[in-house]
C-alpha cells in the first residue's frame, strides 16, 4: 500500500477556467517526488489538496491509512500538526518571533510534538547553517534565511509527510542544492514521503519521481 | 494557554508603541471619573471638617462665601473689614490682608491656637509686637526656623506712601495639622495693624525735625528714622494713633457655649446693617451641593467620553484582527486550532486591558496622593 495515494481528485476555482484532475498518484515511503510545471499550473493547489488545506470537489487523498476527506476540521488540523510538515511558498513566518520561536510555534500548541521538535532543533539548525540566527527575530533575516527557517519548522517534528512549495526559490544555487539534499536525505533516512513543488529543472534529477503538472490539467 | 499567552505577549511587546498608546487612552478614560470622584470626595471631607469645627463667624456685610473663605482659609485679602469694637466680646479676631513670602499673614489672638488645637513643634509662642509663628508646611518649604526673620510683602511695590514691609521675628513653628493653618504666618492682631501702618515706631523727634505740629498730630521731616523691625531696644517707641476700637478686623470666630446663645447671636446680627453672622456648616453645605452637581455633570461627560473611547478601542481591535487575518490564517495552516487563535486574540485584549488598568490604578493612586496638595492649590 503506498504511503500517499491520490485517486480521481478534481478541483477548480469558482469562476476560473482552470481545472485540476489527478486520476492517480501514489508515492511510497522513503520516496521523493517532484511536481514540476509552469507558474499557474496548479502545483501549489495540488499541494494544498494533498495536505488537506483545500477540500477537493471530488476524489480522495489518503496519507497512510487516513483518508483526509473523512476527517473533520479539528481532526484534520491535529493530523496535519502531527504527521505533516509544510514549507509554504511565502514561508508563513511571524516577523515578531525569533527563529527558534517560529520553528517551535505550531508545536507549542500541541504537546505531542513539542519535545521531539525541541530535541531535533539544534542539529537541524546546524545542518541548515542557521545556529547563529537562533535568537534573532525573523524580521532581521534575509529571504534565503527565512526560507531555511520555514524548512526547519516543517522538519522539526520529523513528520511522515513533508510537502515543500518551492523550498529553494530564494536560495542561491549552491545553498539550494544543500537544502534539497538535506530534504531528500532526511526522507530516505526516516522512510518518509517528500513532495516538492519546483520549477528549477536542475533539481529534478535528484528526486525519485517527477510529475509534470501538465498531466493533471483538464 | 501558555503558548497562547506567550504569543499574545510577544505581539504586544513587538508593537509596544501602539499597545502603550491604546492602553494609555483606555487607562485615562477609566481613571478620570475615578480621580474626579476622589478629588471631590476629599474636597468635601476637608471643607466640611473645617467648616464644622467653626461654629459662627462675624464679619462685614457682604458675601457670606468670601467671609467664610477668609476666616477658614485666609483667602480673600480685600474683604471689607469691621471695626474691632463691633465684634462681639469673646470672639477670636482675624485680620487677613497681608502676605509674607507668599503666605497669608493672619493677625489674631492666642485663643486661636487653642481653639484650632494648634501646638508648637519648635520654638515658643508670640510674646510681643513683631513676633510671629509659622505653619508647619510653610516653615518646611521656606526653610525657616525659630530665630529667623521674615518680611511682610508690601501691597504696592511703587506706592512709597503705602504699608512698608515689616521684619518679623519667627519665634516658633507649629506642628503640622493638615489644615490651611500649615500654610499661614500667625502674628498678634497688633502686629497686623503695625504692618497696615496703624502703629509705628521711630527715633525721638528733635525740635528742628518738626515740620508741623497742631497739638494732636506732629509732622516731622525725613530725618526721623521709622523702624521696620521691632526689637527689644525700640519696642517702647512703637505706639498706636487713634482709637484701637476703630481698627479693622476681617472677621471674628464666635464660640457660643450653647444653642441658645448661638440663636441669640444669630438674631442680634440679623438686624445689623453693617455686620453679618454666618454658620460655616450651613454655608459650606450649600457650596458643596453645587460642587456635587458639578461633579455629577463632569462625571456624566467623562462617562460618555469613556464609552466613546471603549467603542473606539473595540473598533481598533476589530480592525487590527481584520488586518492580521493573513497572519491568523498562517497560524491555522501550520496547525494552530481556532480555539487557540481565539485565545490568543482574547489574551491580547486582556493584556492591553490589564496594562490600561495598571495605568488607571497609578493615576487613581496619584489622585489620592495628590488630592490634599491639589485642594490646597485650588483654594
pLDDT tens string, chain B, 379 residues long: the values are: 688 898 899 889 888 898 999 899 888 888 888 888 888 888 888 888 899 889 999 999 988 888 998 999 988 667 888 898 888 888 999 999 888 988 999 999 999 999 999 999 999 999 999 999 999 999 999 999 999 999 998 766 666 666 678 899 999 999 999 899 999 999 999 999 988 888 888 777 777 777 777 766 777 777 777 788 888 888 888 888 888 889 999 999 999 988 898 898 888 888 888 899 999 988 888 888 887 788 788 888 888 888 888 888 889 889 989 988 988 888 888 888 889 899 999 999 999 999 999 999 999 999 899 888 888 777 7
**Pairwise pLDDT comparison (A111 vs A30), residue with the higher score:** A30
Shortest Cα distance, chain B CAs vs residue A81, angstroms: 5
Q: Does residue A21 belong to any structural domain of this protein? A: no
For residue B205, give the 3-state DSSP assignment.
coil
The neighbour count for residue B24, using CB atoms within 10 Å, is 15
pLDDT of B36 reads 82
CB-based contact B58:B87 (threshold 8 Å): yes
The residue of chain B nearest to residue A53, with distances taken between CA atoms, is B333
Residue A136 falls inside a structural domain: yes
Helix (H) and strand (E) counts in chain A = 6, 9
Which residue bears the cell 504666618?
A: B185
Q: Per the domain annotation, does A2 fall within a domain? A: no
**B201, B237 in Cβ contact below 8 A?**
yes
Q: Does residue A145 belong to any structural domain of this protein? A: yes
Q: Which residues numbered 147-166 in A keep a CB inside 8 Å of some CB on B?
A: 153
Facing B335 at nearest CB: one of A77, A94, A95: A77
* Secondary structure letter of residue A72 according to DSSP: -
Question: Distance (Å, rounded) from C-alpha B269 to C-alpha B271?
Answer: 5
User: Which pLDDT does position B201 carry in this prediction?
Assistant: 80
Domain residue limits at A172: 28-53+72-212
> Using CA atoms, how far apart are residues B83 and A28, in angstroms rounded to an integer?
115
Query: CA separation (Å) from B4 to A77, B26, B348?
Result: 17, 23, 9
Nearest CA in chain B to A96: B14
Burial call B194-233: b when 16+ CB within 10 Å, e when fewer: bbbebbebeeebeeeeeeeeeeeeeebeeebeebeebeee
On whether the CB atoms of residues A29 and A83 are closer than 8 A, the answer is no
Domain count, chain A: 1
What are the chain A neighbours of B334 within 8 Å (beta carbons)?
81, 86, 92, 105-106, 153
Asked whether A74 and A110 are in contact (CB, 8 A), the reply is: no
Instruction: List C-alpha distances in Å: A102 to A6, A216, B327.
Output: 31, 34, 13
- Nearest-CB residue to A92 (from B2, B11, B330): B330
With CA atoms as reference, the chain B residue closest to A111 would be B3
- A81 inside 8 A of chain B by CB: yes
Residue A97: closest C-alpha in chain B: B10
> Rounded to whole angstroms, how far apart are CA atoms B89 and B55?
15
Q: Taking CB atoms and an 8 Å limit, are A88 and B333 in contact across chains?
A: yes
A109/B3 touch (CB, cutoff 8 Å), yes or no:
yes
Q: Is A208 domain-assigned?
A: yes
Residues of B with CB under 8 A from a CB of A: 2-4, 6-7, 10-11, 14-15, 327, 330-337, 340
Distances (CA, A) of B255 to A128, B5, B58, B262, B279: 92, 66, 11, 8, 11
Q: Is residue B80 exposed (0-12), middle (13-18) or buried (19+ Cβ within 10 Å)?
A: middle
Domain of A156, CATH number, reads 3.40.50.300
For residue B325, give how far its alpha carbon lies from the nearest alpha carbon of chain A (Å).
Answer: 13
Which residue carries 525657616 as its cell? Answer: B144
Task: Answer whether B335 sits within 8 Å of A97, measured CB to CB.
Answer: no
Closest residue, chain A, to B331 (C-alpha): A106
**Nearest residue to A197 via CA among A87, A92, A93:** A87
Q: Which of chain A's residues have a Cβ under 8 Å away from the Cβ of B335? A: 77-78, 80-81, 106, 109-110
Q: Report which DSSP code applies to B88.
A: P
* Nearest CA among A115, A48, A109 for reference residue B1: A109
Q: Which residues of B touch A106 (CB under 8 A)?
A: 334-336
Amino acid at each position: 500500500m503506498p504511503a500517499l495515494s491520490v485517486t480521481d481528485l478534481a478541483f477548480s476555482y469558482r469562476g476560473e477556467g482552470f481545472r485540476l484532475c489527478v486520476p492517480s498518484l501514489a508515492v511510497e515511503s522513503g520516496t521523493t517526488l517532484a511536481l514540476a510545471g509552469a507558474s499557474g499550473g496548479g502545483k501549489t493547489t495540488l499541494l494544498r489538496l494533498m495536505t488537506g488545506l483545500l477540500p477537493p470537489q471530488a476524489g480522495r487523498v489518503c496519507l497512510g491509512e487516513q483518508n483526509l476527506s473523512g476527517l473533520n476540521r479539528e481532526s484534520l488540523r491535529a493530523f496535519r500538526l502531527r504527521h505533516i510538515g509544510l514549507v509554504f511558498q511565502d514561508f508563513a513566518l511571524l516577523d515578531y518571533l525569533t527563529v527558534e520561536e517560529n520553528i517551535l510555534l505550531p508545536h507549542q500548541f500541541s504537546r505531542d510534538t513539542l519535545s521531539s521538535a525541541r530535541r531535533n532543533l539544534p542539529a537541524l539548525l546546524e545542518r541548515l547553517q542557521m545556529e547563529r540566527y537562533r535568537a534573532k527575530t525573523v524580521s532581521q533575516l534575509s529571504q534565503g534565511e527565512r526560507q531555511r527557517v520555514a524548512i526547519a519548522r516543517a522538519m522539526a517534528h520529523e513528520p511522515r509527510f513533508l510537502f515543500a512549495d518551492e523550498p529553494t526559490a530564494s536560495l542561491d544555487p549552491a545553498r539550494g542544492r544543500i537544502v534539497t539534499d538535506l530534504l531528500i536525505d532526511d526522507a530516505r533516512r526516516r522512510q518518509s514521503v517528500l513532495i516538492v513543488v519546483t520549477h528549477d529543472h536542475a533539481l529534478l534529477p535528484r528526486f525519485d519521481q517527477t510529475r509534470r503538472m501538465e498531466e493533471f490539467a483538464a | 494557554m501558555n503558548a497562547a499567552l506567550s504569543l499574545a505577549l510577544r505581539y504586544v511587546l513587538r508593537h509596544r508603541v501602539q499597545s502603550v498608546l491604546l492602553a494609555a487612552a483606555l487607562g485615562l478614560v477609566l481613571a478620570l471619573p475615578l480621580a474626579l470622584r476622589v478629588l471631590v470626595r476629599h474636597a468635601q471631607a476637608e471643607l466640611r471638617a473645617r467648616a464644622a469645627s467653626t461654629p459662627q463667624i462675624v464679619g462685614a456685610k457682604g458675601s457670606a462665601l468670601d467671609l467664610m473663605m477668609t476666616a477658614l482659609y485666609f483667602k480673600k485679602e480685600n474683604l471689607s473689614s469691621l471695626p474691632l469694637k463691633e465684634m462681639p466680646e469673646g470672639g477670636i479676631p482675624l485680620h487677613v490682608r497681608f502676605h509674607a513670602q507668599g503666605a497669608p499673614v493672619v493677625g489674631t489672638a492666642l485663643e486661636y491656637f487653642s481653639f484650632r488645637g494648634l501646638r508648637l513643634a519648635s520654638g515658643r509662642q508670640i510674646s510681643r509686637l513683631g513676633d510671629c509663628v509659622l505653619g508647619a508646611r510653610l516653615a518646611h518649604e521656606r526653610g525657616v526656623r525659630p530665630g529667623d526673620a521674615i518680611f511682610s510683602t508690601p501691597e504696592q511695590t511703587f506706592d512709597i506712601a503705602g504699608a512698608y514691609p515689616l521684619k518679623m521675628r519667627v519665634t516658633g513653628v507649629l506642628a503640622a495639622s493638615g489644615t490651611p493653618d500649615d500654610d499661614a504666618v500667625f502674628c498678634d492682631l497688633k502686629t497686623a495693624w503695625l504692618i497696615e501702618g496703624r502703629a509705628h515706631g521711630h527715633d525721638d523727634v528733635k525740635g528742628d525735625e518738626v515740620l508741623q505740629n497742631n497739638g494732636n498730630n506732629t509732622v516731622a521731616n525725613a530725618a526721623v528714622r521709622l523702624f521696620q523691625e521691632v526689637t527689644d531696644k525700640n519696642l517702647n517707641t512703637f505706639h498706636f494713633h487713634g482709637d484701637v476700637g476703630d481698627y479693622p478686623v476681617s472677621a471674628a470666630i464666635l464660640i457660643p457655649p450653647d444653642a441658645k446663645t448661638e440663636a441669640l447671636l444669630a438674631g442680634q446680627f440679623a438686624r445689623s446693617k453693617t455686620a453679618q453672622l454666618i454658620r460655616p456648616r450651613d454655608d459650606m453645605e450649600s457650596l458643596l451641593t453645587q460642587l456635587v452637581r458639578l461633579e455629577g455633570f463632569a462625571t456624566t461627560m467623562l462617562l460618555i467620553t469613556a464609552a466613546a473611547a471603549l467603542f473606539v478601542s473595540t473598533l481598533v481591535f476589530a480592525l487590527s484582527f481584520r488586518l492580521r487575518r493573513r497572519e491568523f490564517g498562517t497560524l491555522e495552516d501550520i496547525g494552530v486550532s481556532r480555539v487557540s487563535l481565539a485565545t490568543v486574540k482574547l489574551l491580547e485584549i486582556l493584556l492591553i486591558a490589564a496594562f490600561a488598568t495598571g495605568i488607571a490604578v497609578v493615576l487613581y493612586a496619584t489622585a489620592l496622593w495628590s488630592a490634599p496638595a491639589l485642594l490646597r492649590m485650588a483654594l
